Amino acid sequence: CLENHTLILSESLLKEVSSNLHKKIKVPPSLLNEIIKSLHKEYIIPSYEMLDIKTCRDPNDVHVLSMAFAAGAQYIVSGDQDLLCLKQFRLIPILTPREFWNVLRLG
């Protein structure tokens, strides 16, 4: 994925990724540190204006939509149900990781 796509992340999203990899997937600490360091080198935080807090049912997710829109993202990939229920945001499809994998695989 990193070879052909640019990730758009923020510090708060990196913390969330780290927490989920540790708690949900049980990634060992040494590997977790490598993954986060690698992502930290690759991520881009576009300058963006926060959208209206009412844009999403979870106000904590508005920054994801704001960043994606400002960066011209092709996809938003998330496991967050508050984002997934939108299905798309301003023509940006919101997909689960599996759905995104299928898009990549099927071209």
Alpha helical stretches, state H, the chain: 11-23, 29-42, 62-71, 81-84, 97-106
Q: What's the one-letter identity of residue 63?
A: H
- Confirm if 64 and 83 have CB atoms less than 8 A apart: yes
User: 7 or 43: which carries more pLDDT confidence?
Assistant: 7
State pTM to two decimals.
0.82
pLDDT tens-digit readout, 18-64: 999 999 999 999 999 999 998 888 777 767 888 888 889 999 899 99
Q: What's the one-letter identity of residue 92?
A: I
pLDDT tens-digit readout, 66-89: 999 999 999 999 999 999 999 999
